[in-house]
A and B are shown apart, each in its own frame.
Chain A
């Protein structure tokens, strides 16, 4: 076998490349096809979908599912809440994380090793669900929007990514030069560090953004009020508890096959509608990802 390989390398390499390409194609299809399928299923007749007739192109085209979604007030309340929590939450996240990361990246800050150590411990050890629940309840945060904003608003992993970036990418001489001219830490952070750190702010901001958008646990545990429920809870009701129609035209369908026929179309549609914002943001920030994970892995 080795002799053959040595003599006929080009053929072997071609074979090898072919295997690689096939494997990659396989990986691509296995990830992409289900996503594509959701899109075509959301505009196809649900009975045709369920019987495997819809494979490559939508069949029995109808936008009924999307019309129902547009009319469903729960989804839009959830959407509004989630957008509010996501933007306000991410803003608070960055407001708390970035300055702290800067301070902890300054070598002359003597307490930084101790503070960092105390922060990192929390990545491995926590009080658990029940004591945390009692604390948040004690603070009067249950059933308010603040529970989505303030608890755990500093993610230590994101803090480490940011700190490592500041450590490696902001030249030490820069602050020394600026401080000679009377520049304070506040001003240096605001006018020099932040403008130079767009890459890491994008990455960390996106991590926070996605975490808020997808957060289901917080609402499940801490919020009972329907008016405060974020999109993920509404999605759970629709996708998993089969409460497809709460209002609108479909509510009459409970008595007939009408609702069931379109129930799946609505589910597919809801998946698209709820994931769309993230999918829209994703391609623009994707180029920063590898950088972000890389920075985090250096000292994480």
Chain B
């Protein structure tokens, strides 16, 4: 801001920008043309990114209208007949609607309820570890699974949990739970999904909380010690409050993606036996859109998903604004 006001006073430091200009004019006006001439190199640098984002992010947004019209292969995106909310109605009336919505919400809420607090707890514990080397080793280890690909992660689950050949399957059988197939049972899909998700990402997600904890003023700890606070009390009264702003922001962002269950992992974990609980909006859109080519219908479902996400994002943000004065924007 200060720099911009400096420009406003007519003494822009950028005068030397044009090396070929004979002599800087005394007070160049801040016109659009002047600014552009001064900054054309910046425009050149940002242009490729603008083109890519406009093309791959904004053009598909224009294609959202497909959700409201028929897709006409010959006439392209906008050529089909306008159908209004027909496809939304078709989805809501479809016999799969209740199941898919229920699955999507269940998986998301379970992931949020259990997966969201986990990295906070991990960060608080890690922060208490006084042995710096052990902390380093532990951090390196718990971040690691984040880099495993989803395919490998699901493959890992498959080989470890398989009832016939997997080690966990074997242990379950020896403990008398042999008839539970962790990979295909309707009741174990969500726990396996959520727990493996925590295993993979909890460490990585704790980084941001650790960073917030490391910025706590050390004097607070010293004075709390003098006041006779126990370690547990420092966690409760110093560490946790220090995390609150971060927690709120991340929580709003998470809620904004409440129906955005990870397509890839669910898709890969699906099999015919667990399908009743594992079919979610994202996988359904893929199947009917890409595989069965029902373009308009799947666009409508996709848009339905996005709109609900948006409502959650705004709602959480509004609540947080009111309760804690923290907001995304």
Contacts and interface: CB of A to CB of B under 8 A. Distances in A.
Interface string B248-284: 0000000010000001100010000000000000100
Interface in A1-23: 5-6, 9, 12-13, 16-17, 20-21, 23
Contacts of B166: 50
B218 interface: no
Interface stretch (B58-66, B101-109, B236-244): B58-66
B294 to A, nearest CB: 9
A216 B151 contact: yes
A293 interface: yes
Nearest to A151: B56
B-side binding surface: helix, strand, loop or mixed? helix
A135 B56 contact: yes
Nearest to B256: A124
Given A122-B57, A126-B61, A271 B49 contact: no
B211 interface: yes
Interface string B292-313: 0001001100110110001001
A282 B295 contact: no
A52 B170 contact: yes
A83 to B, nearest CB: 14
A50 B165 contact: yes
Interface residues of A, number: 104
Contacts of B44: 186
B92 interface: no
A256 B13 CA distance: 80
A126 B55 CA distance: 12
B42 A128 contact: no
Interface of A: 5-6, 9, 12-13, 16-17, 20-21, 23-24, 27-28, 30-32, 34-35, 37-38, 41, 46, 49-52, 54, 95-97, 99-100, 102-104, 106-111, 115, 118-119, 122, 124-135, 150-154, 156, 159, 172, 176, 179-182, 184-186, 189, 210, 213-214, 216-217, 221, 232, 235-236, 238-240, 263-264, 267-268, 270-271, 274-275, 278-279, 282-283, 286, 289-290, 293-294, 297
Interface of B: 3-4, 7, 12-14, 16-17, 19, 35, 38-39, 41-46, 48-50, 52-53, 55-64, 66, 77, 122, 125-126, 128-130, 134, 137-138, 140-145, 147-152, 154-156, 158-160, 164-167, 170-171, 174, 199, 203, 207-208, 210-211, 228, 230-232, 246, 256, 263-264, 268, 282, 285-286, 289-290, 295, 298-299, 302-303, 305-306, 310, 313
12 contacts: A12-B230, A50-B170, A100-B48, A108-B38, A128-B305, A129-B289, A135-B55, A172-B3, A235-B149, A239-B152, A271-B159, A290-B210
